[in-house]
Amino acid sequence: MKKQENRWFPTKVTLTDLDCDHIPPVRVPFRGGTGDTEKPRAQFLWGTNTRGQVNASLTPSTTPVIFSGIQPTGVPHLGNYLGALRQWVKLQNAAKPNTKLLFSIVDLHALTVPQEASQLRKWRVEAFATLLAVGLDPKRSTIFYQSAVPAHAELMWILSTVASMGYLSRMTQWKSKLQLPEETTLDNSEARAQLRLGLFSYPVLQAADILVHRATHVPVGEDQRQHLEFSRYTASSFNHLYGPIFPTPEALISPAKRVMSLKEPTAKMSKSHADERSRILLTDSPHEIQKKVKVALTDSEPGVTYDPTRRPGVSNLIEILSHLEESSCEQIATEFHSASLRALKEHVAERIAHHLHGVRERYFEIMANHSYLDSVTQEGATTAQANADVTMRRVRDTIGL
C-alpha cells in the first residue's frame, strides 16, 4: 500500500536560535460590549462573550504551550528528522520549566487514505519509538497517540460548526493529495467525485489538535503557514461567538530548509516515492546510508558548487551537510570546491551515519522494551487527556452541553 506523505505539520521549528526566553507573546481577542480590542495574552484573564457571560482564559498567562504532531508512516526519514524532530528536541531542551510541551502521533489523520490495520498499528509504534529515540523525554514532554485522547475528535465536531466551507475549499492540501491543480474548486465535478469528507475537513481536526491543548505556539515549516492560519481563524471564529476560550496560536518557523529526495532532488524527501533509495530512514545502517548516498542523483559537471536551481542534486547534499554540521552551504561549497562529487558523497554518508548512530541504537533498544513503551504510551495518554479535559469542560459549559 502506498504510504501517505508524513504531513500533519511536517513540523519544522523559527526559534532561529531556539531562545525560549523570547517566545513572542500570544494575543487573544478581547470582545466586550463596546467593541473589539486586543490585549496581550499575558495581561488578559477575563472577558465577556456575546451573551454577556464571563469566560476565563484557559491558559495561565505565564504558561507557554507548544504542540506539534507527526503522522505514523513508520520510521521517519532524514527530512522529518532535520526539519522537525531534531527541532522539537531543541525546543524541549531550551524551554523554561513552566513551558508545556506536547507531541502527538496523529494517527486519526492517517485515516484520510485507506490503511491496512496491521500496518498502521506497526507504523504507530515505530513512530512513537522514534520520538523517544531522537531525544524527546517523557518526563519533560507529553508524548501520546492522538486517538488515545477522544477530546480531539469531540472538539473537531464542535469547531466544524464554525469552520468555513469556503476557507476549506481554498486549502491546497486536499488538492495536492488528489493531484489536482491548485486553482481547482468544488465546482469541479472530478474533484467532487474523488474528494472524501475526512480529507477535506482534516484542517478542522488539525485545529482541534492544537486548540484542545490551548497551544500558544506551534512549530511549522514555512510552507505550512496556511495550515496554522486556518487554526488561528477557527480559534478567532469560536472566540467571537463564545468569548476568549482559545489563545490564538503563533507559528514557530523552522530555520531548516527542506531535505529533498536523493533520486529526485526537486521534490521533497518522502515515504511515498517509489524508489526506497530516495530517502534515508533513521534506522538505516551505515552501509545502507552509504549505498543510498552513493547513487544519489547529481550531475556530470566537475567540482562542487552550491546552486539549487542549476545543480539541485549537488546542492541537496550540501544542504544535508549544512544541517548536520550547522555551517552555511556557501562555506561547505568553498571547502569542497576542488573535491570530486564522489568525495562529497562519501563525506555526506559518513556524517549522516555518525549523526544517526545514537538514534538508531536507542530506537532498537526501545522497540525491544515492550513494557517501557507501554508505560510511556499510557502515561502520555493520561496526561494529554487530563490537559484536554480542562479545555473541554469549559467548552461544553460555554456552548451549553
Per-residue pLDDT reduced to its tens digit, 119-139: 999 999 999 999 999 999 999
pLDDT at 133: 98
pLDDT category of residue 19 using cuts at 50, 70 and 90: very low
- How far is Cα 307 from Cα 348, in angstroms, rounded to an integer? 17
pLDDT band at 6 (very low <50, low <70, confident <90, very high): very low
Catalytic residue numbers read 177, 268, 271
pLDDT band at 56 (very low <50, low <70, confident <90, very high): very low
Report the DSSP pairing between strands 54-56 and 46-48. Answer: antiparallel
**In DSSP terms, which residues pair with 100 in a beta bridge?**
65
Per-residue confidence at 144, pLDDT binned at 50, 70, 90? Answer: very high
Tell me the average pLDDT across 377-401: 97
Q: What is the pTM of this model?
A: 0.82
Q: b/e map of 114-152 (b: 16 or more CB within 10 Å)? A: ebeeeebeebbbbbbbbbbbbbbebeebbbbbbbbbebb
User: In this model, does residue 20 exceed pLDDT 90?
Assistant: no
Q: Which residue has the cell 543510498?
A: 292
- Please check whether residue 341 is in contact with residue 332, taking contact to mean a CB–CB distance below 8 angstroms: no
For the cut 70, the answer to whether the pLDDT of residue 13 exceeds it is no
Tally Cβ neighbours within 10 Å of residue 401. Answer: 9
Q: Judging by beta carbons within 10 Å of its beta carbon (0-12, 13-18, 19+), is residue 259 exposed, middle or buried?
A: buried
Closest CA to 209 of 226, 177, 234: 234
Residue 293: the pLDDT is 98
Length of the chain: 401
- Taking only the tens place, the pLDDT of each residue in 252-282 is 987 777 899 999 999 999 988 889 999 999 9
Residue range 340-352: average pLDDT? 97
Coil/strand/helix, residue 46: strand
Residue 145 CA from chain centroid, whole number: 14
pLDDT band (50, 70, 90) for residue 239:
very high
Band of pLDDT at residue 16, cut at 50, 70 and 90: very low
Condensed to tens digits (0 to 9), the pLDDT of residues 66-114 reads: 999 999 998 999 999 999 999 999 999 999 999 999 999 999 999 988 8
Q: Which one, of 258, 255, 11, 259, lies nearest residue 127 by Cα?
A: 11
pLDDT above 70: residue 179: no
What the chain holds in terms of domains, given with CATH numbers, is 20-163+201-258+370-399 (3.40.50.620), 283-368 (1.10.240.10)
pLDDT score for 310: 96
Would you place residue 227 in the very low, low, confident or very high pLDDT band (cuts 50, 70, 90)?
Answer: confident
Lowest mean pLDDT among 59-68, 223-232, 304-313: 59-68
Q: In 177-317, where do the E strands start and end?
A: 217-220, 250-253
